[in-house]
Structure 1
Amino acid sequence: MQHFVLIDGNSIANRAFYALPLLSTSSGLHTNAVLGFTTMLLKVLEEMKPTHLLVAFDAGKVVFRHSDFTEYKAGRAKTPPELSEQFPLIRELLDAFSISRYEREGYEADDIIGTLTRLADENGWKTTVITGDKDMLQLVSDHVTVALTRKGVSEIELYGTAEIQEKYGLTPRQIIDLKGLMGDTSDNIPGVPGVGEKTALKLLHEYGSVEEVLNNIDRVSGKKLQENLRTHAEMARLSKQLATILRDAPLDIEMEQVSYRGYDSAVLTQFFRKMEFKSLIPKIATADAAPAHGEGEAAGGEEAAAFSYEVVDAGSLDRFAAKLTSPMSLIVEMDGDNYHRAPIIGFGVACDDTAFYVPYEVACDWPAFREWLADETKEKHVFDGKRDTVGLAWHGFTLQGIRFDLYLAAYLLNASESNPVLHEVAAQHAAVKVAADEDIYGKGAKRALPDAAVISEHAARKAAAVWQCVSAVKQEIAAHQLEQLLAELEEPLSLVLARMEHTGVRVDGERLLQMGRELDEKLEEYTNRIYELAGTSFNINSPKQLGEILYDRLNLPVLKKTKTGPSTSADVLEKLAPYHPIIDTILHYRQLGKLRSTYIEGLVNEINSKTGKIHTIFNQATTATGRLSSTEPNLQNIPIRLEEGRKIREAFIPSEEGWYILAADYSQIELRVLAHISQDENLIDAFRKGMDIHTRTAMDVFGVPEEQVTSLMRRQAKAVNFGIVYGISDYGLSQNLNITRKEAADFIERYFAVFAGVKRYMEEIVKQAKQDGYVTTLLHRRRYLPDIRSSNFNLRSFAERTAMNTPIQGTAADIIKLAMIRMQDELVKRGLKSRMLLQVHDELVFEVPQDELQAMQQIVPDVMENALPLDVPLKVDVHYGRTWYEAK
């Protein structure tokens, strides 16, 4: 069967541009959109194997729709010049791929695609449309599928008629009616004021089309909605007309002209060299593309020369040892993901065009290799130095001399793509091909060790890939001014975290078990209380049975329905709390149950039987803001709002007799960073005077002196202060404070009137993000925002809130990371026995001998408060006790 793939060129180019860092060639030519487009094309050719292929572009700014509505697409932000300059290169790329492209003056790419899908449909062809624009969903039919891009252009979500019905409850053609009612801000299609997606869907589910909605205005619920529909009826009809993709555009192209027969690898290689896409050349160097009609094997992708490596044994030790005097890349191959428990299988080592594999048994019996690993003067390039350092430490090896950590560098280049994996980084920057670990070992229950030859080649390939990647990645790090952040923050921090992980924190398992027994007693009390309030016994953990009790037996109002009946989710139950005392009891029961199963049992299972400690993994390259997280177990999510949750910290104790736990916590660090970044005079003044910031905010917003600030005023001010950091809306604030949206909007308006610098910062940072495509912290950590100019309001709004928050939250994360590095340096420099154990949000936890308590109470806050100079003072609260619980 013929498979026609149609690509929305402008949409894909735009998403590729914002999804990738702003890459450029050595001559300064920007190429990130071209690279993203290229990887998408290679994936399409490999996975979809099209028989026909075309990329459609918009031809100009003025199209036939402007004659109907002159404001069509008015207000769109100007295309960044860094993207504009890449469109000719993308057209050149398509020519190198021998892919047809088409544009027509007066028409949009949508109309070209719409017309060609109709023609393909009439011929019975299977058609796939690749786009980032949901408007295209109206083209879906039995033969036409729309692939919407996600995560830039790296992932797609396929929509057929069933998927549209499941998500929207509509037919594909009703997508036009949806746009007619709700409009589209990205195209400046007005729609009907006051009608968003939710209302529009409700109307269409009842009446089916814009026309039928307008014919039944008198039956529509809500006087305001009826009034808006009457007043703007013509605009609704026009909006539907504007949103309708043309299916009969006058195209001067025949279907046979878009057949795809593959590319000339020599031509494509030449283009890749011009773009400096060196890592892509091996993928297409030996063959002329995948056969166009899905026949045979996918061409391209074989390395130009066979990969070779040497397995080191007793007979080759001397020859291999001579290589160890040079800088080398190192891979520590382990059997498992948790490097605190995983056995070491062997080592991949490489430099220049030479790669080796050292079996673990050989390494253990070879003192020279152990010495090389531990030698600080021997330069090593690694992929995740923390993992390697800790994993080796558990087996009695010392690793020093790490000069470049490819894992951390890849993370800094695009923090939104969290937790980089080597095979993906290598695909971008190395000639040698590397398989994913799960392709070698399997996944989950199917994981198993393959033959030794497979493992040795895999480890050697990984080492060679790391070596090949380093130069190119270093150049990108330099181009994005990230050298200092990598070399002076992230790489030193990884060694501090390695020490903390290997040290671990002692946990009293018996105390945890006792807490579990206490919780069991409380759970039984709550169970009996719930039965008493319900008037019968039932399975409290069954949503179905709980729903029957709440809605059938107790007749509580149904606030939300799911596919299986009225909802019993926590957010719904919280709103039902005023209606019956059983609700609060159920919510508390659930919280205690989660404490019992997730935290008590979970922590007991994570205690290392040999050390009596928990050795959590600190994830350094997971969050887009730069904050650390922890897993196996997650010690950052122990709930502390409930007293029962806080008491879990009683089980965390010093590892030495007579020692103490000392906890140091930054006070309102994000608000202090906000004051510095926004340069708001009132915020700066409050912090410099040491005032309670929530009280000061209440004073300024409500216009009352300090003594007249009530607890309610302070609570509302606190909600706004922390909400502002996260770009809170009037709706979000109204939910937090249980007030009306109008009251919340008034509160936010008064806040911005007082803190004008904060408002100015938020407006300017969003404007800057739309211009640059990313935002930065004070230490130049970048976060790319591919949806900042999205046509989807929700995606764009989220990106705008992210733009406001990331410089604040990211800078706060950078500050505590700096503090950790400098704190460890102080411990070593002063010869102290105290140890840093944990980082939890804005808190550092230490274990301290009694004779160092006084010194540590001075050193810790001094280091933390001076980690990064700001225009307002940083403040740290320090407490200590025999347990972590007592230290709070």
Structure 2
Amino acid sequence: MKKKVVLLDGNSIAYRAFFALPLLNNDKGIHTNAIYGFTMMLMRILEEEKPTHMLVAFDAGKTTFRHKTFSEYKGGRQKTPPELSEQFPFIRELLDAFHIKRYELENYEADDIIGTLAKEADSENVEVKVISGDRDLLQLVSETTKVSITRKGITEVEEYTPEALFEKYSLTAKQIIDMKGLMGDTSDNIPGVPGVGEKTAIKLLKEFETVENLYENLEGVSGKKLKEKLEANKEQALMSKELATINTTAPIAVHLHDIAYNGYEPADVVPIFQNLGFNSLLDKLDVKQEEQEPTALDELSFERAEEFNSDVLRTDSALIVEVQEDNYHGAAIQGFGIVNDTGCYFVPAELALKSEEFKAWLADENIAKSTFDAKRAIVALKWKGIELRGIDFDLLVAAYLLDPSDTDKDFRSVAKMKGAHTVQSDEEVYGKGAKRAVPAEEVLGDHIARKASVLYNVKQSFIEELKRNEQYELFTELELPLSRVLADMEYTGVKVDTGRLRGMGNELSAKLGHIEKDIHELAGEGFNINSPKQLGTVLFEKLNLPAMKKTKTGYSTSADVLEKLVDHHEIVEKILLYRQLGKLYSTYIEGLLKVVHENTSKIHTRFNQVLTQTGRLSSTEPNLQNIPIRLEEGRKIRQAFIPSEEGWVIFSADYSQIELRVLAHIARDQGLIDAFRHDMDIHTKTAMDVFDVANDEVTSNMRRQAKAVNFGIVYGISDYGLSQNLGITRKAAAEFIQKYLESFPGVKEYMDAIIQEAKQQGYVTTLLNRRRYIPEITSRNFNLRSFAERTAMNTPIQGSAADIIKKAMIVMFDRLQEEKVQARLLLQVHDELIFEVPKEEVEKMEKLVPEVMEHAIELMVPLKVDYSYGPTWYDAK
């Protein structure tokens, strides 16, 4: 087989990916945009190039042999953002999973590793492809070595052969080094000759070929000023050429035979993609869907319940309500499993759902039942007109509290936490995809009965561990009753005015058409606005706008780039608006209309209770917590959410700055505590302290910056993150953070103390004792450890805020019943609770809701709730 070597510049590609893609996080809070972009390029290279040999080279450190020549080499470069640094270990882990060799060498750069291997391949007449975002590597172009430079982030590459290189620059590969010697390179702090740019350098080299020859024939240079510049900077030019020269004889310990590539096993990559949340990339893996061999199981003795006697319907029973659909609203129930001290039973669905005795047993509050995923069971039965009460244990919720980082929460994986291996996965029993089907009753009954049997046997073990962790009260007093509240909210649903939603869609569609027409007129031509390539050509070539984030051979049209160009041309603002409105239309108009239930005209979202490590709730199908409200058109979508009955209103109540109040309490910072106790505007107070000004001297910009750092501190923000939020330099952002910590010393003490606590215990806790395990806190890897430290600082704050609103929901739900009001709790969105309320009960709710929410838990500072109401959710804000 003909050899083909692919050499990647790892640092360059990772940097390009990081700055080309918006900051992305997975469900564990790890930034993933660089990993994602890097992986996309990697998979495309493997598919298109089909290398027989492959290596990814990384820089080993900040100091190289070039620093001996010029100590300021690469000086002035900003520190790598921690949001990028934390991603490098995962990139290396991915390369290992893909079975791709990676290499770095102390005192040398990735370029030198690539150059040395390329020369070795060249000497053997082996085809080489070098891929980087750095044009320095163009000096390696030869008859056997092609160099591809990434354009527009990482989505496109420009390939250079000797012919293509000459066509572009009128230079040979070797002359690229001379060009760098003359023009320098600001990114590497190579000085070159001041005042000599790319065009002048190329012109000189076309005439004199090399820097050395140029200086030997300096009298032949036309132009007095240019000649003077060259003469004054001879040593600097020669040094710059030396700095720009790739070392192709580096003492590397890898050679071509060491980097042979034989492909990868998709199964090795799958767990990493799953951990990182790369679901779209999972679909691209060629994973063979092999028939799973049935799990070897011990024989289980169970009865098919024909009648409901006192043996079957007992208290202290394990109950499985088998519902296989992801969306369990109105879904079919496959059957029931019951285990108690008399035996193990399978109850067919058609038999159970017709039995009044069975339904009465399910609804009896005084008969204790254990289950798995109580919320799912309650909602599924409610759609059948059946109540499920008396649940005193939920295996799914218990497992979540014990290990919130484990996102694999199917029954079998949860059972394995306590060594129970006597149950198959649902996939093994029901099949997958097109082959999914309900099996014969004998197989179905065995599977459901086994689940009930495992549940019955592991219950006590889970309870004991919750007690050892001092989490049993969190389980029984918060999460278990919350599942009942969430089930009621899901089943109740929220009414949607589909006519109004369609009307908004028509308005948006028309507005998009007008904006598109305006953009085309401003551009002077028609083009596809959604095409970055066409858009870049229009903006940066035809309209000559400054390429704020231009790659070396292309343009970026990302939102952050366009936002910086708003003042340069009116077309930019219209493009940004076009994108925002387009997303609103597709995601929130068409998307919401798809999930309105045909029988109820309501949206029945599903709340995720066992997903996030902080304890926050999320929702799905649809995600009602992410309806954008920055644009008025986005806020207006809330107009479609209305009361389900005439003469009712939507009532909204939300906590004011709950996370900052929790921070004040946990950090015991007197400045924050006093501010909240005196009901001061906390952002104004922060601005006063940080800028050392009086209240009336705080400007709107000061308050804006203070607000950004207030909320940033809660999330462990870095100087890079704050600089991006405020549009200021990283140095200014770092100074701002430092001044904040000096102004609120209790916060600094808390941060230091919580990191030490996490290192000693391996976890941090919320005020109600929710745990988050942080094993990376003691990692030797600086980047992983830094991420873990930010997580340790943030989790007690965010998690405690989540616990507080959960507690408020439970108390609120009970109080609504005690007060015998008709008002209903509909939604929870971040720090906000949304109700539908009869107009005659509004006055009562104005007192009841703040009373409950503000006293859900007692802190050293008061909790504050703002409320409003109106005919729609929009009017209630």
TM-score (ref. length: structure 2): 0.69
Q: Deviations over 1:816-861 (max 9, x none)?
A: 0011111111111111111111111000011111221111000100
Q: 1:204 to 1:674 in 2, by over 3 A?
A: farther
Pick the aligned partner of 1:441 from 427, 430, 438: 430
The one-letter code matched in structure 1 to 2:638 is R
Q: 1:701 to 1:176 in 2, by over 3 A?
A: same
For the Cα contact (< 8 Å) 2:412–2:421, is it kept in 1?
A: no
What per-residue deviation string (whole Å, max 9, x for no partner) do you get for residues 291-326 of structure 1?
xxxxxx9999744x3233222235xx54xx413224
Of 313, 321, 339 in structure 1, the residue corresponding to residue 328 of structure 2 is: 339
Q: 1:486 aligns with which of 475, 478, 485?
A: 475
Give the CA deviation at 1:739.
1.1
Cα distance between partner residues in 2 of 1:350 and 1:880: 48
**Of 387, 401, 405, which residue of structure 1 is paired with 2:394?**
405
Residue of structure 1 aligned with 2:103, choices 173, 178, 182: 173
Deviations 1:110-161, CA, capped at 9 Å, x for gaps? xxxxxxxxxxxxxxxxxxxxxx999999xxxxxxxx9x49xxxxxx961423
* Residue in structure 1 matched with residue 99 of structure 2 by the alignment: 160
Q: Following superposition of structure 1 onto structure 2, how do residues 218-237 of structure 1 map, counting pairs within 5 Å?
A: 221=185
Match of residue 743, structure 1, among 698, 712, 732: 732
**Are 1:638 and 2:627 counterparts?**
yes
Counterparts of 1:519-558 in structure 2 under 5 Å?
519-558=508-547
Q: Is 1:721 aligned to 2:710, yes or no?
A: yes
1:116-515 to 2 correspondences below 5 Å: 148=93, 158-161=97-100, 172-174=102-104, 221=185, 302-303=296-297, 305-313=298-306, 317-318=308-309, 321-351=310-340, 354-418=343-407, 420-515=409-504
Aligned to 2:836: 847
Q: 1:502, CA displacement in angstroms?
A: 0.9
Partner in structure 2 of residue 603 of structure 1: 592
Counterparts of 1:135 and 1:603, CA distance in 2: 39
**Residues 419 and 621 of structure 1 are in contact (CA less than 8 Å); yes or no, is this contact kept in structure 2?**
no
Alignment CA distance shift 1:431-1:738 (3 Å) = closer
Tell whether the 8 Å contact from 1:176 to 1:244 is kept in structure 2 after alignment: no
How far apart are the structure 1 equivalents of 2:653 and 2:831? 8
Give the letter for the 2:542 counterpart: R
- Residues 178 and 204, structure 1, Cα contact 8 Å, conserved in 2: no
Measured after TM superposition, the shift of residue 496 of structure 1 is 0.8
Residue 176 (structure 1) shift: 5.5
SS at the partner of 1:607? coil
Distance in 2 between residues matched to 1:560 and 1:413, nearest whole Å: 45
Q: Which residue of 2 aligns with 1:772?
A: 761
Secondary structure of the 2:787 match is helix
Could you tell me how far apart the structure 2 residues matched to 1:712 and 1:133 are? Answer: 33
Aligned partners of 1:430 and 1:468 also within 8 Å: no
Is 1:612 matched with 2:601? yes
Deviation track 1:318-364 (CA, whole Å, cap 9, x = no partner) reads 4xx41322421111112411111311121122236943211111102
How many equivalent pairs are there?
646
The aligned counterpart of 1:694 is 683
Deviation at 1:202, TM superposition (A): 6.3
Distance in 2 of aligned mates of 1:650 and 1:599: 12
Q: Which SS does the other structure have where 2:563 is aligned?
A: helix
Aligned partners of 1:649 and 1:884 also within 8 Å: yes
> Per the alignment, in what secondary structure is the counterpart of residue 775 of structure 1?
strand
1:186-225 Cα shifts (integer Å, max 9, x gaps): xxxxxxxxxxxxxx996996899xxxxxx99989845996
The alignment partner of 1:761 has SS state of helix
Q: The residue matched to 2:420 in structure 1 has which SS?
A: coil
Pick aligned residue for 2:750 from 743, 761, 773: 761
Change in 2 beyond 3 A, CA 1:566/1:467: farther
Q: Deviations over 1:762-810 (max 9, x none)?
A: 1111121122211111111001112222233332222111111111010
Query: How far apart are the structure 1 equivalents of 2:509 and 2:390?
Result: 51
Aligned residue in 1 for 2:661: 672
- Structure 2 SS opposite 1:883: coil
Secondary structure (helix, strand or coil) at the match of 1:746 reads helix
Within-5 A mapping of 1:89-108: none
Q: Secondary structure at the match of 1:867?
A: coil
The structural deviation recorded for 1:518 is 0.8
Q: Is the 8 A contact 1:432 1:464 kept in 2?
A: no
Which amino acid in structure 1 is aligned with residue 103 of structure 2? R
Q: Go from structure 1 to structure 2 and tell me whether the alpha carbon gap of 1:847 and 1:563 turns closer, same or farther (over 3 Å shift).
A: farther
Q: Is the 8 A contact 2:650 2:834 kept in 1?
A: yes
Equivalent-residue separation in structure 1 for 2:856 and 2:587 (angstroms): 35
Q: Any idea what SS the aligned residue of 1:873 has?
A: coil
Aligned mates of 1:181, 1:674 — CA distance in 2: 47
d(CA) in 2 for partners of 1:612, 1:201: 52
8 Å Cα contact 1:330-1:382 kept in structure 2: yes
Residue 519 of structure 1: CA displacement? 0.6
Larger radius of gyration: 2
**Are the aligned partners of 1:406 and 1:466 in contact in 2 as well (CA < 8 Å)?**
yes
* Distance (whole Å) between structure 1 residues aligned to residue 400 and residue 633 of structure 2: 37
Cα distance in 1 between the residues matched to 2:551 and 2:436: 37
Greater shift, 442-451 or 818-827, is seen at 442-451
Residue of structure 2 in register with 1:707 after alignment:
696
Pick from 635, 638, 642: which aligns with 1:653? Answer: 642
1:683 corresponds to which letter in structure 2?
L
- Does structure 2 conserve the Cα–Cα contact (< 8 Å) formed by 1:603 and 1:633? yes
The answer for unaligned runs of 5 or more in structure 1 is 1-131, 138-145, 150-155, 165-171, 183-199, 209-214, 246-296
**Aligned partner of 2:303: which letter?**
E
RMSD: 3.4
| 1:135–1:671 Cα change, 3 Å | closer
Contact 2:301–2:344 (CA under 8 A) maintained in structure 1: yes
Quickly say closer, same or farther: Cα 1:466–1:833, change in 2 above 3 A: same
Following superposition, the deviation at residue 549 of structure 1 comes to 2.2
Q: Do 1:770 and 1:788's aligned partners in 2 also have CA atoms closer than 8 Å?
A: yes
Secondary structure in 1 matching 2:461: helix
* 1:449-485 per-position Cα deviation (integer Å, ceiling 9, x unaligned): 3333332222122212212221221121111110010
2:105 and 2:351 mapped to 1: Cα distance? 65
Question: How far, CA to CA, are the matches of 1:135 and 1:334 in structure 2?
Answer: 40
Unaligned runs of 5+ in 2: 1-85, 113-131, 141-176, 192-238, 255-290
What are the residue-to-residue correspondences of 1:61-80 with 2, within 5 Å?
A: none
Q: Which moved more, 1:656-665 or 1:322-331?
A: 322-331
8 Å CA contact 2:315–2:369 kept in 1: the answer is no
Check 1:393–1:707 CA distance in 2 against 1; reply closer, same or farther (3 A cut).
same
Could you tell me which residue of structure 2 aligns to residue 831 of structure 1? 820
| Partner amino acid, structure 1, of 2:734 | A
Q: CA deviation at 1:647?
A: 0.8
Q: 1:736 to 1:223 in 2, by over 3 A?
A: closer
Query: Are the aligned partners of 1:135 and 1:175 in contact in 2 as well (CA < 8 Å)?
Result: no
Question: Cα gap change, 1:409/1:654 in structure 2, threshold over 3 Å: closer, same or farther?
Answer: same
The reply to whether residue 516 of structure 1 matches residue 505 of structure 2 is yes
Amino acid at match of 2:456: W
Q: Is the 8 A contact 1:827 1:833 kept in 2?
A: yes
Contact 1:551 1:558 in 2 (8 A): yes
Q: Is the 8 A contact 1:698 1:717 kept in 2?
A: yes
Residue aligned with 1:577, SS:
coil
Structure 1 residues 679, 887: closer, same or farther in 2, change over 3 A?
same
- In 1, distance between residues paired with 2:679 and 2:655? 14
